[in-house]
Amino acid sequence: MHLTSTLLAGAVAVASAAADNNYLGFNSGATLADRSAKFKKDFEAEFKTAQALNGAPGKFNAVRLYTNIQAYSTDDPIEAFDAAIDTETYMLLGLWASGTDNIDKELSALKKALDKYGSKFTDLVIGVSIGSEDLYRNSQTGTKNKAGVGADPDVILSFIKDYKKAFDGGALAKVPIGHVDTWDAWTNSTNKAVIDAVDWIGVDEYPYYESGKGNDIKNAGKLFDKAYDATRAVANGKPVWVTETGWPVTGEKWDEAEPSAENAKYYWDEIGCRQLFGKTPTFWYNLRDSNPDNSMKFAITKDLSTTPQFNLTCPTTFDTDSSDSSSSSSSSASSGSSTASSGSSGSSGSSTSASVPTSTSSSGSGSSGSGSSGSGSGSSGSGSSAATSGSGSGSSGAGASGSASGSAQPTSVNKDSGAGKMAASSSVAGILALVGAFFLL
């Protein structure tokens, strides 16, 4: 009996799609707009509002964090963990990696969280990002835009190794590892080793800041698609999660781009509804503003009201033509177990077609610079020392020195947990592949 490769591939795709869970969420930094620390009640208020937004096209029950460290502590676990457990909010964890030569305090805080919360915590962890826009900050573009101190690929690779070693054999070992950066950082072939080392890649993309490219709101969908497609083209088939995107409601005009609630609604429809929601894990920027250095304000609510500043209901038709975009198909959230090796830099990177925008300058949602993409997340510090501020949308950094303590709990992954749902996809696909191989013998 023979099972054709076509049928086998179809079976694997169906099984993988059935196990996927394309989370919806927002980004949350460690500090408030006045640079004071967020505590459990602050995170809890965010998470409750996100899950109860009027007219939302799905349940926004996930959050992307930039650090594991409670603001202005040495290595205490961020109180977002406790709030997430109480509100059943899934978490994309972040380890701050810029401006430091180690992530010991991040690892220590995470180990303390494991000891304190156990499976109540790990069951809600859907992914771990080692760094955020570090490659962009250290690029020519990032330097030009004064984005702050970042990290080179070899540093990110070493931190990925450190993380894997710290949690080898424990529950977090089964959680997919990624790195978040701008699309033009991902398409730079010198960063290919980072792609090779992770299970998924996160992309931050803001057409609003793409000066000189026709960044009028009516062209935002096309600009986003080009950047998203360029990222997917170099991802080697790995899932691409959209970790930051949005359009400001207020602020200064940026070339042809104008902030307004009307334009923010149009962007939500043309990018979120048309391209992302339900197709790939998406973390919108943002539920509320917390970066005082950014004059553009992206919050979709005022004072965490469940009534947003614009209608979140998705339309049934769109202005942007998705027919030329390879990213119009679903990007699988599943990436299976964290088995990727640290990788090494390839001699050549994937090239992009002539239609793909070339990186000229990018600042993302920071307050300076202009250009093709990027978003320089992180500005106010957490941990014992403040992180270097960048022109960015995020609002958390983390102190870096110190030694790790504690140990990960070697518990198994709950099949109903965030990590379990994603690992299930890879497991089922693997079993079907083995069955198919048997029948082909």
Q: Which residues are catalytic, by number?
A: 133, 244
Say whether 275 sits in a helix, a strand or coil.
helix
Closest CA to 205 of 160, 253, 244: 244
Element (H, E) at 93: strand 90-95
- Cα dihedral sign, 43-46-51-56: negative
User: Exposed/middle/buried for 144, CB within 10 Å: 0-12, 13-18, 19+?
Assistant: middle
CA 54 – CA 289 distance, rounded (Å):
19
Nearest to 215 by CA among 267, 281, 282, 277: 267
CB 115 within 8 A of CB 406: yes
**Of 95, 83, 92, 19, nearest in space to 45 by CA:** 83
Measured CA to CA, the distance from residue 338 to residue 190 in angstroms comes to 23
Phi/psi at 179 (5° precision): -140, 140
| Alpha carbon distances (Å) from 266 to 123, 262, 318, 355, 371 | 35, 6, 10, 24, 21
Q: Which of 21, 86, 116 minimizes the C-alpha distance to 415?
A: 21
319-351: string of b/e by CB count within 10 Å (b at 16+)?
ebebeebebbeebbbbbbbbebebbeeeeebee
Instruction: Report how far residue 272's alpha carbon sits from residue 57's, in angstroms, rounded to the nearest whole number.
Output: 10
Greatest C-alpha distance within the chain: 68
| DSSP assignment letter at 250 | B
